[in-house]
Amino acid sequence: MNLGNAYNDQGDYPQAIDYFQKSLKIKQAIGDRNGEAGSLGNLGIAYYSLGDYPQAIDYLQKSLKITQAIGHRNGEASSLGNLGNAYNSLGDYPQAIDYFQQSLEITRQIGTRDVEAESLCGLGSAYNALGEYERARDNLQQSLEITRQIGTRGVEAESWFNLGDTQKNLQQKSEAKTAYENARKLYQAMGLDKKIAECDKAIQDLENDDMGA
């Protein structure tokens, strides 16, 4: 699956999907259930990246069933978290929260701090969308605490950005601007121009709101 992951990382999702499909057939043919779950999960992530959330959910559900059947707790937590992301993107926030909570429970049992931080970040985003800003802020601050300890910059940046959105909704404009700026610094260090532009827009919108107030 290395080639598939390489294409996925480069953003060539159709090519990645082709390789993951080939890998899936091989894993199924030799009875490698763990490998099969991994290929299904990778297909789910690739389709999610393409914005095809129903197809992503279908593959992630299949991956989840296998990880649960073979007792692969880390894989189960990842599948649940990715399902949360897919439902979050579809705007089904209660369903997203349910998956994120299930993922969070497992990660805390087995100690996978990176997936725990991702689940907390997802919960923060979903609660913010539902208008539950205090709960959103609490989950995002917990995510930031973990990401700063373990050094997962991508999730840290996303948590800062989501915290900025939440603090803006709480009318905490100064704190929101700081959060967006923190996200921007991390995205800049990672060379993610699209994310940098999103941060710039969020900061500009915040300043425009102040001017209009």
Q: What digits encode the pLDDT tens for the residues 50-87?
A: 999 999 999 999 999 999 999 999 999 999 999 999 99
Q: What digits encode the pLDDT tens for the residues 145-178?
A: 999 999 999 999 999 999 999 999 999 999 999 9
The residues near 111 (Cβ < 8 Å, ≥ 6 apart) are: none
pLDDT at position 213: 53
Residues 57 and 92 sit within 8 Å (Cβ to Cβ) = no
- The candidate with the shortest Cα–Cα distance to 166, out of 150, 151, 152, 178, is 178
Q: Is the pLDDT of residue 29 over 50?
A: yes
Question: How does residue 15 score in pLDDT terms, banded at 50, 70 and 90?
Answer: confident
Q: Helix, strand or coil for residue 31?
A: coil
**The amino acid at 18:** D
| Model pTM score | 0.91
Q: How far is Cα 108 from Cα 117, in angstroms, rounded to an integer?
A: 10
Mean pLDDT of the chain: 94
Question: How does residue 1 score in pLDDT terms, banded at 50, 70 and 90?
Answer: very low
Q: What digits encode the pLDDT tens for the residues 178-199?
A: 999 999 999 999 999 999 999 9
pLDDT at position 2: 58
Residue with tokens 């480069």: 10
- Write down the domain spans for the chain: 113-213
Residues 137 and 166 sit within 8 Å (Cβ to Cβ) = yes
> CATH for 113-213?
1.25.40.10
Q: Dihedrals φ, ψ of 111, to 5°?
A: 80, 25
Q: How far is Cα 35 from Cα 121, in angstroms, rounded to an integer?
A: 27
